Amino acid sequence: MNKKILALTGLFLTTFLLISINLFSAQNAESKSQNPLSLGFQIISNSQGTTLYQKNLDYVQVIDLTQGAKINFIYGNITDLGTKKGAYGGNDPQFERQTISQVWSNLYSENSSLFCITNGQFFRNDKNASTGLAFPVKSDGIIVSDGYAGEIEFPDEKLMLEVWNDRALISKFQPNNLQLSTAPNLIVGLQENADKGVEDKTGRTFIGIKDKDGDRLNETILIFTSKKATQPHAAKVLKSFGETQVIMLDGGGSTQLICQGNIYIDSPRTIPQMIAIFSGDEVRKKEE
């Protein structure tokens, strides 16, 4: 057998092996998740790349970045820059606290592809009209806050959710990674078992990520919100949807959810920072 035939044979076998591995990875990733409908969840709202499921008090948003859906970490007006007062050498601004319905009205008037808004970062829950965030948040390429807590609170239990246009990643938070991250949107939260009243049935907001096709990129983001849930329950629900990693954000009275103008989880508490989900409708219209 000449060298050309050997080379072609080797190339064929390598290609076949890679395809087989990718197919196995995709099937394996898919096997870890169950059909939400078989778990008792119902679809109550959907749009291009975004679906909202409900089961009793639990809600799960499934956001497919490959279909043009987007996630943004939005925040209230800055009333004090807090220049150089942040925990990691940056800023620790004071953000105006708002109701989730106020934010929906303002944002939807600017962008009709807005799908849902839920709460986000932990914050100092005082009675002031403006307040600071506990941990870092980056929005549209700008680190808007270093947070005030630093390594004093949960030094070994912080995680970082990074979101690019086509993928997301959850990893252990290291202070130097805040400046090094290339992700335009980033939020720091806690591990699923960090002590925030682990077994208390209270408001919970958790985010998971999922690799839907086994290509080792997490193209899907899942957001769990519930008025009454324990931490293990929140994590378990996301795992049943196929998430591979999970991060805990603010909960209790901060947990709120509004989708397509309908309030599903309400609270009188005003909050300084929220998560906005946009469907891929604009992308679909452009393609049409």
Q: Is residue 3 part of a domain?
A: no
In sequence order, what are the residues at sequence separation of 6 or more whose Cβ sits closer than 8 angstroms to the Cβ of residue 111?
278
pLDDT, mean of residues 214-242: 96
In the prediction, which pLDDT does 19 show? 39
CA–CA dist 229, 251 (Å, integer): 10
Q: Is residue 27 part of a domain?
A: no
Instruction: Give 211's DSSP letter.
Output: -
pLDDT, mean of residues 232-254: 96
Q: Which amino acid is at 203?
A: G
Q: Is residue 19 part of a domain?
A: no
pLDDT, mean of residues 81-87: 97
Q: 137 burial class (0-12, 13-18, 19+ CB within 10 angstroms)? A: buried
Report percent pLDDT > 90 for the chain. Answer: 80
Is residue 26 very low, low, confident or very high in pLDDT (cuts 50, 70, 90)? very low
CA–CA dist 197, 202 (Å, integer): 9
The structure tokens listed for 242 are 């196929």
pLDDT higher than 80, residue 253: yes
pLDDT higher than 70, residue 88: yes
For the chain, the first-to-last Cα distance in angstroms comes to 52
Taking alpha carbons only, the member of 191, 240, 268 closest to residue 37 is 240
Q: What is the mean pLDDT of the chain?
A: 89
CA–CA dist 52, 105 (Å, integer): 20
pLDDT higher than 60, residue 54: yes
pLDDT, mean of residues 155-167: 97
Q: Is residue 26 part of a domain?
A: no
Q: Is residue 209 part of a domain?
A: yes
Is residue 16 very low, low, confident or very high in pLDDT (cuts 50, 70, 90)? very low
Q: Is residue 25 part of a domain?
A: no
What is the domain range of residue 240? Answer: 32-287
Number of domains within the chain: 1
Most confident range, picked from 7-16, 26-35, 175-184: 175-184
pLDDT, mean of residues 255-271: 97
Q: Is residue 273 part of a domain?
A: yes
Which residue in the block uniquely carries the two structure tokens 């799960």? 60
Q: Which tens digit of pLDDT belongs to each residue from 55-77?
A: 999 999 999 999 999 999 999 99
pLDDT, mean of residues 104-112: 96
Which residue in the block uniquely carries the two structure tokens 């909050």? 271
pLDDT, mean of residues 281-287: 55
pLDDT higher than 80, residue 1: no
pLDDT higher than 60, residue 286: no
